[in-house]
Amino acid sequence: MKKVFVAATAICVALSAPLMVSANDTIKFGVAGAHSGDLASYGLPSVNAAKLVIDKVNANGGINGKQIELLVEDDVCKPEVATNTATKLVSDGVDVVLGHICSGATKAALPIYKDAGVLVMSPSATNPALTQSGDYPNFARTIAPDDAQAQVDVEFALNTLGYTKIAIVHDKGDYGKGFAEFAKKFLEESGKAEVVLFEGVTPGAVDYSAVVQKVKRSGAEAVMFGGYHPEASKIISMMRKKRLKADFISDDGVKDNTFIKVAGKNSEGAYASGPKDTTSNPLSIQAVKEHKEAFGSDPGAFFENAYSATLAMLNAIEKAGSTDLDALKKALQTEKVDTPVGSIYFDEKGDAIGVGFSVYQVQNGEFVEL
Amino acid sequence: MDYFIELLFSGLSRGAIYALIALGYTMVYGIIGLINFAHGEIYMIGAFTSFIVATVLSIYGFPLLAIVALAGVAAAIWAASYGLTIEKIAYKPLRHAPRLSPLISAIGMSIFLQNYVLLAQTSDFLPFPELIPEFAFMEPVAHIVGSSDLVILVTTAVAMLILTYVIKFTRLGKAMRATAQDRTMAMLVGINVNNIISATFIIGSALAAIGGLLIASHIGQINFYIGFLAGIKAFTAAVLGGIGSIPGAVLGSLILGLTESFATGYVSSDYEDVFAFSLLVLILLFKPSGLLGKAETQKV
């Protein structure tokens, strides 16, 4: 029996030895998010962003004399898949992770990274609790949280558009419902407007006409929608088909060109909030140009945020001189870094200081910042 | 009252959508006692085929009516060939296997087809052209029922009548009923059972493809995943009405659509599915064979 035990130990040591060597060879940079499935258009741009930055850094000799290795894993934006994704990345010895893309998936994956002491930075997960609850000290993000976004949308609806009756619809998901609940809270606190309807719809349902009729009956002047673009384009198309003229205000899950493409002329005049337009920032222009040269296409959603997150994490690794979580966090909080979304650093909870939202409107088939 | 009528129509058109898909489920079950879980994907493939054909034809400037007709025919033929192939590959070799095997094979086929379309096409949502133009009805009617709702309702009614006629009064229908009753006996009296089963899959798939075209045009978007939820709901509707019965599938679909619509209208859309599936549980508790289903005596 003892012999077997010794042999097993020997095998284990022999197997793990090469792993330890390779872990010291390179800095392992994980990218996790939706790379297939219906939300792939949100996840793939971050893979491209990481590739662009890392190729450039590697060509210049890497960081602290080490090359950076990219580990890409798909989570299809599903929490149950995300835990597998995270486990896979951790067992591959990942040092830092860019991702995940959807808030629900991020929330599911974070405890696994936390146990492994891995820094995670999301370009797009906007659920407030991810940073504000304090449960995930290993998490940071380069996008402003939903409550900030809901605040922007509510102020816009009340002060700029002057609405007093608003219907809130959401997709029952972590992200959409979270946004909707904050919007409701802010609307009620303002005392200026009444929430005439608050309901969730089933994503993927064949028909939303009953909900649209309900909105119509509620007498709402505007619909605030929390969720992603497939449902949004279905709802707005159904609203227009049923001759419902109420305005449509939504979040950055909808501020995607696919929304305009799918909803077509029905999307005209719809509002959606999204990260502040940074296209005039020289670093952003440079990043978009790199993307066009490397991939021959325009970058998609959250590309700048992902590019910035990659820069911020690599900068932190360089300044900290290691990939130890505490050292990285300290570097993130103290070292300002110039990125496509502006010059940013991070607060104690992990939210980037220096990024924000603004409201866009669909005008003549494209989103125009207001 | 206005509101009630609006919800009634929205429920009916939703029910008709389910019915177009549910007919295929119920036919296949009626003949070979198999739940074809890949049926939702056949519907999705029909929608994709009509999308591609319609896009190509509109580039060449065909008139709308020709586009709809050709896209419909192409979708029906293409989806029927998929249905036939699925039957040959995934179900026929398992015809004498335990009941669970073809069921699992069907689920595998469903997942395979989803991923196949995902890889062959795209994961993105695509804008589906408005093949049924929205007619401007007079104002009190306009917000109650649109032209695409009407077309879907009428198509479902016509499909149900034709199917009922085919099954009750034609040679093919007689052979189908015989096969459904007792496959071995039907074979002994000279019915080519394999051909009958193939015919069932062809008809069911073609119907689902037409449904795909109409529904995609109604909703205005498609992607590889649309078959899943639509399939589950249509299957539920078929069970509700009594699986195996054609009028039952339509009745079950309409009841399911109305339940969802009224639940949304008078309670909350949060509980839409809760009401729909509670109804299913209730009916199965009190009439396990479904509303119009015949109670079968188990062959021992």
Tokens representing A61 are 């000799």
Nearest to A206 among B3, B230, B270 (CB): B230
Under an 8 A CB cutoff, do A242 and B3 touch? no
**Residue B139, pLDDT score:** 65
Tens of pLDDT, residue by residue over B181-232, are 888 999 999 999 999 999 999 999 999 999 999 989 888 889 898 898 889 9
The per-residue pLDDT of chain B, averaged, comes to 89
Rounded to an integer, what distance in angstroms lies between the CA atom of residue A208 and that of residue A266? 15
- C-alpha distance from A352 to closest chain B C-alpha (Å): 30
A107-138 b/e (C-beta count within 10 Å ≥ 16 → b): bbbbebbbebebbbbbbbbbbbbbbeeeebbb
Q: Taken in order A121, A122, A128, A129, is the CA torsion positive or negative? A: negative
The chain A residue lying nearest B234, using CA atoms, is A206
| Residue A263: DSSP 8-state | H
- C-alpha distance from A202 to closest chain B C-alpha (Å): 8
Q: Is the separation of the CB atoms in B36 and B243 below 8 Å?
A: no
In angstroms, what is the C-alpha Rg of chain A?
22
How many beta-carbon pairs under 8 angstroms link A with B? 106
Rounded to an integer, what distance in angstroms lies between the CA atom of residue A326 and that of residue A295? 36
- In Å, what is the CA distance from B10 to each residue of A126, A210, A291, B14, B138? 35, 6, 46, 6, 18
Tokens representing B291 are 């509303």
Rounded to an integer, what distance in angstroms lies between the CA atom of residue A33 and that of residue A125? 10
Rounded to an integer, what distance in angstroms lies between the CA atom of residue A333 and that of residue A353? 10
Tens of pLDDT, residue by residue over A38-88, are 788 888 999 999 999 999 999 998 888 889 999 999 999 899 999 999 999
- C-alpha distance from A190 to closest chain B C-alpha (Å): 25
Q: Which chain B residues are closer than 8 Å to A237 by Cβ?
A: 219-220
Burial of A47 (0-12, 13-18, 19+ CB in 10 A): buried
| Residue A296: DSSP 8-state | S
Under an 8 A CB cutoff, do A262 and B127 touch? yes
**Cα dihedral value A35, A41, A44, A50, nearest 10:** -140
**Per-residue pLDDT at B32 exceeds 90:** no
- Band of pLDDT at residue A22, cut at 50, 70 and 90: very low
Q: Which of A141, A198, A19, A175 is nearest to A91 (CA)?
A: A19
**Residue B165, pLDDT score:** 93
B261 touches chain A (CB under 8 A): yes
Tens of pLDDT, residue by residue over B222-232, are 989 889 888 99
Q: Provide the chain A residues 186-225 that lie in CB contact (below 8 A) with chain B.
A: 199-202, 204-207, 209-211, 213-214, 216-217
Average pLDDT estimate for A239-262 = 88
**Per-residue pLDDT at A2 exceeds 80:** no
**Residue A18, pLDDT score:** 45
- In Å, what is the CA distance from A277 to each residue of A66, A75, A212? 34, 28, 32
**Per-residue pLDDT at A20 exceeds 50:** no
Q: Is the separation of the CB atoms in B186 and B171 below 8 Å?
A: no
- Band of pLDDT at residue A99, cut at 50, 70 and 90: confident
Percent of chain B having pLDDT more than 70?
95
Strand bridging mode A352-353 / A357-363: unpaired
Q: Which of A125, A140, A68, A71 is nearest to A332 (CA)?
A: A140
**Residue B206, pLDDT score:** 93
A243 touches chain B (CB under 8 A): yes
pTM confidence score: 0.77
**Residue A14, pLDDT score:** 52
Tens of pLDDT, residue by residue over B234-289, are 999 999 998 888 889 999 999 999 999 999 989 888 888 899 899 989 998 998 88
- Band of pLDDT at residue B290, cut at 50, 70 and 90: confident
The chain B residue lying nearest A231, using CA atoms, is B221
Angle at B49 between CA B46 and CA B50, to 5 degrees: 85
- C-alpha distance from A158 to closest chain B C-alpha (Å): 26
**Residue B96, pLDDT score:** 87
Specify the range with the lowest mean pLDDT, choosing from A10-19, A226-235, A300-309.
Answer: A10-19
The chain B residue lying nearest A230, using CA atoms, is B125
**Residue B297, pLDDT score:** 57
| Residue A117: DSSP 8-state | T
Rounded to an integer, what distance in angstroms lies between the CA atom of residue A361 and that of residue A268? 8
Long-range contacts: B81-84, Cβ < 8 Å, 24+?
B82/B42, B82/B45, B82/B113, B82/B205, B83/B42, B83/B201, B83/B202, B83/B204, B83/B205, B83/B206, B83/B208, B84/B198, B84/B201, B84/B202, B84/B205
Rounded to an integer, what distance in angstroms lies between the CA atom of residue A50 and that of residue A32? 11
The β-bridge partners of A274 are A358
Q: Which chain B residues are closer than 8 Å to A196 by Cβ?
A: none
Q: Which chain B residues are closer than 8 Å to A207 by Cβ?
A: 10, 13-14, 17, 218-219
- C-alpha distance from A37 to closest chain B C-alpha (Å): 5
| Residue A97: DSSP 8-state | E
B221 touches chain A (CB under 8 A): yes
Specify the range with the lowest mean pLDDT, choosing from B19-28, B81-90, B141-150.
Answer: B141-150
Rounded to an integer, what distance in angstroms lies between the CA atom of residue A158 and that of residue B45? 45
Specify the range with the lowest mean pLDDT, choosing from A91-95, A220-224, B129-133.
Answer: B129-133
Angle at A81 between CA B103 and CA A203, to 5 degrees: 75
Number of C-beta neighbours around residue A221 at 10 A: 17
Whether cis (ω within 30° of 0) applies to the bond prior to A100 is yes
Rounded to an integer, what distance in angstroms lies between the CA atom of residue A109 and that of residue A101? 11
Rounded to an integer, what distance in angstroms lies between the CA atom of residue A154 and that of residue A161? 10
